[in-house]
Structure 1
Amino acid sequence: MRTTDLSELAAFDAVARHRSFRRAGEERGVTASAVSHAVSNLEARMGIRLLNRTTRSVSLTDAGAMLLSRLSPAFDDIGAAVDGVNQFRDSPFGKVRINIPNSIAPFVIGPVIGPLLAANPNLELEIVATDRLVDIVDEGFDAGVRLGESLSDGMTAVKIRPRLRLVVVGAPVYLAERGTPRTPADLERHSCLQNLYPSGRRYAWSFEKDGKQIEFQPSGPLSSDDHEVLVEAAIGGLGLAYVWEDRAARAIRDGTLVPCLDGWRQPEDWLHLYYPTRKYMSAGLRALIQAMRV
């Protein structure tokens, strides 16, 4: 097979997986028009339409679906074969794309980046930080970080550092007016900013003391999946916030937020790095997992 044929097949594979010429171009490092041109050339050479295109969507024809079902395993095999060359190199090479919630990205990936890239100078990390719930397969990521919600079938998950903790904080002006809660039961009398998972589902505030666990369902004038928004709202005196301790650390140090519920700790929860079980694992992804796992 000619190199141009393989490139066109790879372009088709990317478009078919993403259902998007733009995303396929981003994955391949070329423009959407270049990907479209490659797929059109492939269709012309094969004499059959592989994709249905409209101004808003891309879908597979029956012929395209059949071709994709045969191509995807083949490209996995090719990727595994090329990556196998890593055993003859000093370190892994190539790009690893990872998706991670924006609210925890600095604390999870920040300490890892420097040592990992220093030890693997031929490795390239592409980190997309968003609190939107992402399908890592559909959007072309090698791995993702998830907290709190279940993983879809076909995923493998490993525990990673750090084990983050949530804390209740309030502004001095708010606490002076409304009082400082001493127990979770005291929260019933307070304005409590609500936390959302990226899916939009609200989650309870959890506490633990002397082996006893309590869950509290907050209510208040604001809800968000962004801890930075919750921190700023709490600093503004809007209510109590339940946020990552590391996210509120600077405000606690400078006195614009005060920790509450001394002695009541939020049970620490593990974060997980997850990736498709059935897809071959590149040496770069293995290096990333090794750097992050517990």
Structure 2
Amino acid sequence: MEAADTKDSPRGPLRVLASDVVATLLMETVIPTFLSEYPHVQLELVANSAFVDIVAEGFDAAFRLSDDVPKDMIALKFGAPSCMKVVGSPAYLKGRHLPVSPEELEVLDCVRSRPATGIPYRWEFEKGRKKISIEPKGAFTVNRSELALQAALRGLGVSYVPEKLCRAHLETGALVSLLDDWSSLYEGLRLYYPGHRLVPPALRAFINVVKTSELA
């Protein structure tokens, strides 16, 4: 990009916070594109799924689902609504009973997820007006969605992961999704930043790159 070589090009540090999953997605196209177009910006991407006060911790911006964005922030919507998927490898699922309702997941080895501190996440399902929340049963627990995905790929059980994270593996057949008619949608991502100060040029440039990416 021609502007990257001019003295008016954005420069200086830029700190961005994202959940584990979003950070992984950003690494696919957004980060390489941004660093290529704006070489004078020193970008720091921090992956952390915990709730963080971005002002207190010195971040310029962060990504969250819409319901999790603090009310005093400016939030820009990126991405269409998505959903969570229950996935397993064909090898693991071969010869096993495939559940037709969330309650039947107890016959499978479920890879549980929970933060470093706290209780395991529950798996949420929705079909029409019916909503179900279950606590999965299984011998293996992880604290990152990427690890849950890898566990499913390696036949350790079925995992509950964001559709965007497992989409490519579903397309190749490396994973099979279960209970698709029970998938519940959640709102797309928001990129948010403090509203009490001017948007620095580096952040504005980053926002523009995100807008033209597959996250938008």
**TM-score (norm: length of structure 2):** 0.74
Q: Which amino acid aligns with 1:218?
A: E
CA 1:267–1:162 in 2, change beyond 3 Å: closer, same or farther?
closer
How far apart are the structure 1 equivalents of 2:84 and 2:179?
12
CA-CA distance at 1:229 after TM superposition: 1.6
Q: Which has the higher strand share?
A: 2
The aligned residue for residue 288 of structure 1 is 206
Comparing 238-247 and 114-123, the one that deviates more: 114-123
Task: Map 1:164-203; keep pairs closer than 5 Å.
Answer: 164-196=82-114, 200=118, 202-203=120-121
Q: Mark the CA change 1:249 to 1:193 in structure 2 (over 3 Å): closer, same or farther.
A: same
SS at match of 1:284: helix
Identity %: 34
Residues 230 and 93 of structure 1: is their aligned pair in 2 closer, same or farther, counting only changes over 3 Å? same
Distance 1:273 1:213, change over 3 A: farther
1:134 partner amino acid: V
- The answer to whether the 8 Å contact 1:133/1:199 transfers is no
Distance 1:224 1:156, change over 3 A: farther
Matched ranges for 1:128-143 at <5 A: 128-143=46-61
Decide whether the 8 Å contact of 2:91 with 2:155 is kept in 1: yes
CA contact (8 A) 2:108 2:158 kept: yes
Q: 1:157 aligns with which of 75, 79, 82?
A: 75
* Greater than 4 Å deviation, 4+ residue runs: 253-256
Aligned to 1:258: 176
Q: Kindly tell me: are residues 128 and 143 of structure 1, through their superposed partners in 2, closer, same or farther at Cα, counting changes over 3 Å?
A: same
Confirm or deny: 8 A CA contact 1:204 1:215 kept in the other structure.
Answer: no
Task: Name the structure, 1 or 2, with higher relative contact order (CA <8 Å, separation 6+).
Answer: 2
Answer with 1 or 2: which has the greater Rg.
Answer: 1
Instruction: Give the number of the structure whose residues are more often helix, by fraction.
Output: 1
CA distance in 2, matches of 1:286, 1:197: 32
2:13/2:44 contact within 8 Å kept? yes
Deviation readout 1:226-246 (Å, 9 max, x if unpaired): 112212323344432111234
Instruction: Name the CA distance, whole Å, in 2 between partners of 1:141 and 1:177.
Output: 49
Q: 1:107 to 1:271 in 2, by over 3 A?
A: same
**2:147 matched to 1:247?**
no
Q: CA RMSD in A?
A: 3.2
Q: Distance in 1 between matches of 2:66 and 2:155?
A: 28
Q: Where does residue 220 of structure 1 map in the other structure?
A: 137
- CA shift, 1:146, in A, is 1.9
Ranges in structure 1 where 5+ consecutive residues have no aligned partner: 1-87
Instruction: Show the counterpart of 2:124.
Output: 206
Deviations 1:173-225 (A, max 9, x none): 4323531122334334444333336763544433445x445233132233333
- Residues 162 and 89 of structure 1: CA distance in aligned 2, closer, same or farther (over 3 Å): farther
Q: How many residues align?
A: 206
Is the Cα–Cα contact under 8 Å of residues 82 and 186 in structure 2 kept in the other structure?
yes
Report the equivalent of 1:16. Answer: none
Is residue 92 of structure 1 aligned with residue 10 of structure 2?
A: yes
Please point out which of 23, 26, 29 is paired with 1:105.
23
Instruction: Give, in whole Å, the separation in 2 of the partners of 1:192 and 1:135.
Output: 33
